[in-house]
């Protein structure tokens, strides 16, 4: 029976080991990183969510992920109550500019992976980025997400555009550009980037390695660096990765709680042409929505987007995301001549327009915040 209680109890760690499915040596190292995150002098920002979160044990999370029918409706309803009480009915609208389709990584699920021979990879010029940002601003959008593959070759472009966006347009800037050194993160921060999104993708080290050909520990270390240098930090996972179990997903949620991010994003897995996982099934929409709703209840302070992949899986998917507790939508502001060349989903992706956002918010009975909403200040972390 689904148990969703109203009063918010204080956090306790679940009794069941969160990483029982992980290979032992990796699990120990990941646990060590989590301990460092929790107890380091920089940890206030990471841990404040733990203090305020509602309690679910791992087995309760497993129940929530599988809720359907009335139990699922109860979950969504509770998630919306939590969102409305904490954030009101306002939805933050941000604009994404996809400025580079080059990538040095080879993720098994992504059509932009370096192994894919894509003849028309591109990097926008600084003027193209500025023009797109100005266009977003003219539509009342005050938060820009600069997104691309993990392309160190584009760092000089960012060095040029970040100060200009801050100086000329005064926009809030989020980066989603992959892993870098600490000094590089510091440079981005100095130049005006406010927030950084880096998904952990999967909390199980073996699954993470299969999905990204990288190390989960490196990913968590990058997340720690981002917090250390003063970024507002977003993270998240993919629901429905080949080989992923519900237990893995429950651990994803527990890891998200440990990290206590400012943004948390969950996307359903989309199989992409030309990737090793092109014939795998699409991630389950209901499970993704349940994950989103449980995240909202556990991490009430976080901003949670209703991502375009939900709409791609099923028309109306983003509306369902909002009705499950999300409070952010992202309009695509990439110059139209480049959108088709950004192959994050190789089979026709769903491009979110301002009109679609307006219609979806109206259907959900929520409000478009012109100017956007920003993450609430964190306990123990200075504001800028």
Where along the sequence are the contacts to ligand SF4 (CB under 6 A)? 103, 105, 107, 110, 112-113, 149-150, 178
Least distance (Å) between residue 198 CB and ligand SF4: 10
DSSP alpha helices (H): ranges in the chain?
24-39, 44-52, 58-66, 69-87, 126-138, 155-164, 182-190, 205-212, 216-228, 246-259, 285-298, 308-313, 317-323, 336-339, 354-364
Q: Which is nearer to ligand SF4, 121 or 248 (CB)?
A: 121
Q: Which is nearer to ligand SF4, 54 or 272 (CB)?
A: 272
Least distance (Å) between residue 222 CB and ligand SF4: 12
Task: Tell me which residue has tokens 């929520």.
Answer: 366
Cα 9 to Cα 311: distance, rounded to the nearest angstrom: 34
Cα 290 to Cα 283: distance, rounded to the nearest angstrom: 12
Least distance (Å) between residue 114 CB and ligand SF4: 7
Tally Cβ neighbours within 10 Å of residue 304: 28
Q: Which is nearer to ligand SF4, 112 or 270 (CB)?
A: 112
Q: Which is nearer to ligand SF4, 189 or 219 (CB)?
A: 219
Least distance (Å) between residue 81 CB and ligand SF4: 34
Cα 130 to Cα 114: distance, rounded to the nearest angstrom: 27
Q: Which is nearer to ligand SF4, 47 or 100 (CB)?
A: 100
Least distance (Å) between residue 201 CB and ligand SF4: 8
Q: Which is nearer to ligand SF4, 106 or 284 (CB)?
A: 106
CB 86 within 8 A of CB 52: no
Least distance (Å) between residue 176 CB and ligand SF4: 9
Q: What is the tally of helices (H) and strands (E) in the chain?
A: 15, 8
Residue nearest to ligand SF4 (CB): 110
């Amino acid at each position: 029976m689904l148990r969703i209680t109203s009063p918010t109890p204080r956090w306790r760690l679940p009794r069941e080991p969160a990483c029982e499915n992980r290979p032992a040596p990796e699990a120990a190292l990941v646990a060590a990183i989590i301990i460092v995150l929790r107890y380091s002098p920089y940890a206030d920002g990471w841990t404040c969510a733990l203090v305020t979160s509602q309690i679910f044990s791992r087995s309760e999370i497993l129940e929530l992920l599988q809720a359907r029918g009335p139990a699922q409706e109860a979950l969504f309803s509770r998630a919306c109550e939590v969102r409305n009480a904490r954030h009101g009915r306002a939805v933050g609208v941000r604009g994404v500019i996809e400025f580079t389709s080059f990538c040095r990584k080879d993720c098994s699920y992504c059509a932009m992976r370096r192994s894919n021979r894509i003849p028309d990879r591109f990097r926008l010029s600084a003027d193209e980025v500025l023009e797109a940002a100005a266009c977003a601003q003219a539509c009342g959008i005050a938060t820009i997400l600069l997104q691309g593959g993990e392309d160190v070759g584009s760092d000089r472009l960012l060095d040029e555009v970040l100060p200009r966006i801050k100086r000329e347009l005064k926009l809030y800037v989020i980066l989603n550009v992959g892993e870098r050194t600490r000094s590089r993160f510091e440079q981005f921060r100095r130049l005006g980037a406010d927030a950084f999104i880096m998904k952990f993708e999967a909390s199980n080290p073996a699954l993470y390695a299969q999905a990204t050909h990288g190390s989960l520990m490196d990913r968590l270390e990058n997340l720690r660096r981002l917090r250390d240098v003063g970024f507002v930090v977003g993270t998240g996972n993919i629901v429905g990765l080949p080989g992923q179990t519900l237990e893995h997903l429950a651990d994803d949620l527990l890891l998200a709680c440990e990290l206590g991010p400012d943004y948390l994003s969950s996307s359903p897995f989309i199989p992409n042409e030309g990737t090793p996982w092109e014939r795998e099934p699409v991630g389950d929409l209901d499970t993704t929505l349940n994950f989103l709703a449980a995240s909202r209840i556990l991490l009430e302070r976080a901003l949670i987007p209703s991502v375009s992949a939900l709409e791609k899986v099923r028309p109306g998917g983003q509306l369902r995301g909002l009705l499950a507790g999300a409070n952010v939508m992202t309009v695509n502001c990439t110059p139209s001549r480049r959108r088709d060349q950004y192959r994050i989903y190789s089979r026709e992706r769903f491009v979110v327009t301002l009109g679609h956002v307006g219609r979806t918010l109206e259907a959900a009975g929520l409000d478009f915040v012109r100017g956007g909403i920003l993450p609430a200040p964190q306990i123990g972390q200075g504001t800028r």
